[in-house]
Structure formats: structure tokens, C-alpha cells
Amino acid sequence: MSQDQKTWNFSAGPAVIPRPVLERAQRELLNWNNCGCSVMELSHRSPEFESILSKAEQDFRQILSIPKNYKVLWMQGGATAQFSAVVYNLLGSFDKTADYIVTGAWTSKAVEEAQRLGARVNVVANTKSTGHNGALPPISSWEFTPPSESAYIYYTSNETVHGVEFPDDEAFFSSLPAGVPVICDMSSNIMSRKIDITKYACIFAGAQKNIGPAGVTVLIIREDLIGTRVNPSLTIPIMLDYKICAENNSMYNTPPTYSIYIAGLVFEWLQSIGGLAAIEALNLRKSSKLYDTVAKSDGFYRCPVKEGYRSRMNIPFRIYGKDGQASKELEGKFLKEAEGRGMVQLKGHRSVGGIRASLYNAMPEEGVDALTGFMEEFRRANV
Ligand SMILES: Cc1ncc(COP(=O)(O)O)c(C=O)c1O
């Protein structure tokens, strides 16, 4: 690809970062804020880095309207480390049951890890038999653990691999047993729309989709849950301990300073374009354009996920041949031609196949227009 060609990066993560953020990071690379050093070279104990961390937290809180009784923690080990951390920090004891709602690959992994650590898991609903196509049974049929025996309810708001966005609306929250902490893996749709933080006990998100580069995981946790629900039968590895992380202002050890710095720039960028209200409208417009292109293709493109559960962030689709079957040959041709036009990282996850277009916050509408234009052209040439 020539250096002048515009590239549209549809990766599911690590993913596209807003162009103005990369340009600013480039300008500031060698000499941040006239301190004579790169952020990469600053001690995490320096006043300069402390100012970066506190500004990032302040902006993150402002964007998501995080109430004062919630702590923001910056952790490591990716979102995967949180699959273990929630069990260590929030299960309470092995007498309790943890409820998981499984809508795709990532909650399945979280269940496996909870079970591996010895937790009693109740899978409240599971879409595995449908290939995780979003077809959840009605909430009224879900069998939650009674509140007195329940440690928490866990779900993933956006299943990145399968392209399923969880229907976490008023109807969902009002159906939950009262008083049970709700934990959400929001790795792939955090900051993509407005949410009511008070509905949650704990939200976590790996950074490498809507926040910034890989290497840091952000946690939003209700203060009263920190250190009060640990499982006395387990010794928490020090790096997974929420209390130690909170007591040390997320700096028990060296945090991923550069990732946090870039996350801070992403927050400033999001504020500058109008925050969650603006990005939510944009995300809806972008994803609707792509789903409309699929819908109007007379079955040439097909999205496996049921309407009502389709993700605005990750859109998987298959390409069908004249024989009415998904065609790997056409999909290969599509990917090759798309790449030739600067549209990269569109290959579907290996477990799902086909194509997956990830349209995170930083993907400009122009990129979606380029993709839908190409899809239409490709369909006409290959139908
Ligand atoms: C929803 C979700 N949860 C968890 C993970 C795992 O994240 P990590 O690779 O940072 O551990 C991912 C990664 O893509 C994800 O999309």
C-alpha cells in the first residue's frame, strides 16, 4: 500500500485510534509539555506523570458521569485478568453462586475461569446452541440465583467475536434480583453510548478498542465493594487485588504509562467532538449504514446475528454464492480487493469466519461510506 493511500482500519482490537490523537502523540513524542523527555521516559512517580494520570481519570469520569462513590482503577493483564479478578475480589465465598449470562466467546471464557478457580457458576442463559446469534430466551424465563445466595450477576455488554450487543436496557435491569451486584465486561463498547453507572457494581474494559492502546484495563467499581467481598479461601495474587490497587492509586507497581497517556488523549478527543451524546448518534448512523447495505443486498451479504442484538461496534457478515452457501472463495476475493483499496483487517474471527467490520468510536463515517460503497460495487460484480 502506498504511503499516501488512505487506510481504513476495521480491526476488532487493537483497533483504530483517532487520527488527531496519533498526530498529537507524534508532536509530543520527544518532548512532552516542554519537560524535555518523552512520556515513555517519565517516572510514574514524577509529578508530570501524576498529572497525566489524574487528568485522564478526571476526563474519563466526566465523559461517563461516574458518581463519586465509584473508584476508577487502572489495571494490567488485559480484560482476561479480570475474569479471575472478579472471582477473587467479589465472589465472597465458595458458598455463594455467581450468575453468568452467556452471549458469546468472552463470557464463555469468563465462566471457564470462574469454574477453574472453584466458583459455583449458574449459567442463567446461554446462546451457544444458536452459535451465539443473539437469540436470548425471554428474560422472564431466566433462573437467577436467589439474592441471599448470589455473589453477582455477570455479562458482556458487547461480544466482540460474535457481534452481539447485549440488550441491557431498562427491562433488563428491572428484571434482575434486587441488590445483587452487576458486573459487566464492557471492553468493546465502553464510551460508545450513554450508560447509567449506578446500575453496575463493577465495569471493566480492556483499552484496545474505544480507549486507546493495549496494556491497560480500566475498572469502574463501587467503593463499598472494594475489599469487602473477597473470598477468604483464596489468596489474591497481588496484581489482581482491587484493594491494593485502590490504596496505591493504581500504582502499586509501574503502570503502563504510555498507554494511560494515550487513553487520556482519546478522552480529550471524545470530549472535543461532543462526548457520549455525539458519539452515540454517530455510532448508530455508521452501523445502520452497514446493516442497511447488508439488508439491501438480496441475500448476497448476510449477518448471522438476530435483529435487536446486532452490535454497533463489531459487524460480522458472510458472503453467499449462487449455490446459496456462504462462499469462502468470494470472501477471500472480497478481503483481497478491500485491502487493495486501503480497507484492512476485515477478516472475521477464526471461530466465526467470513468478514467482520469493527466500527469503534475512532472509525470515521467516511471509512464506513468507503466500505459500504465497495460492498455494493463488489456485489454487482460478483452476484
Ligand atoms: C469483550 C472482550 N472481553 C475480553 C477480552 C479479552 O481482552 P484481553 O485480550 O485484553 O485480555 C476481549 C478481547 O478482545 C473482548 O473483546
What's the mean pLDDT in 293-313? Answer: 97
Report how far residue 211's alpha carbon sits from residue 193's, in angstroms, rounded to the nearest whole number. 13
Judge if 181 and 315 occupy the same domain: no
Q: Is residue 6 part of a domain?
A: no
Judge if 255 and 289 occupy the same domain: no
Q: Is residue 2 part of a domain?
A: no
Judge if 155 and 287 occupy the same domain: no
Q: Is residue 58 part of a domain?
A: yes
How many residues in the chain? 383
Dihedral Cα 114, 128, 9, 64, nearest 10 deg: -50
Judge if 265 and 305 occupy the same domain: no
Judge if 109 and 72 occupy the same domain: yes
Judge if 247 and 158 occupy the same domain: yes
pLDDT tens, position by position, 56-115: 999 999 999 999 999 999 999 999 999 999 999 999 999 999 999 999 999 999 999 999
- Write down the pLDDT at residue 2: 56
Residue after which a domain boundary falls, among 239, 271, 303? 271
Query: For residue 286, is pLDDT > 80?
Result: yes
Judge if 280 and 267 occupy the same domain: no
Judge if 30 and 57 occupy the same domain: yes
79 CA → ligand 1 middle, Å? 5
Q: How many angstroms separate the most distant Cα atoms in the chain?
A: 65
Pocket probe mutation, ligand 1, options 166, 187, 189, max atoms within 8 Å of Cβ: 187
217 CA → ligand 1 middle, Å? 10
Domain limits for position 329? 276-382
What percent of the chain has pLDDT above 70? 99
Rounded (10°) angle between helices 47-64 and 257-272: 40
| Total number of domains constituting the chain | 2
Nearest CA to ligand 1 atom 10: 78
- Write down the pLDDT at residue 294: 98
The bridge status of strand 314-319 relative to strand 355-358 is antiparallel
Residue after which a domain boundary falls, among 236, 251, 271? 271
Q: How far is CA 380 from CA 141, 304, 335, 355, in A?
A: 44, 22, 16, 18
Report how far residue 236's alpha carbon sits from residue 241's, in angstroms, rounded to the nearest whole number. 6
Rounded (10°) angle between helices 47-64 and 275-295: 60
Judge if 88 and 182 occupy the same domain: yes
- Write down the pLDDT at residue 4: 60
The grid coordinates of residue 212 equal: 486507546
Q: Is residue 169 part of a domain?
A: yes
The grid coordinates of residue 84 equal: 479471575
Judge if 240 and 368 occupy the same domain: no
Report CA Rg, the chain: 21
pLDDT tens, position by position, 179-217: 999 999 999 999 999 999 999 999 999 999 999 999 999
pLDDT tens, position by position, 272-285: 999 999 999 999 99
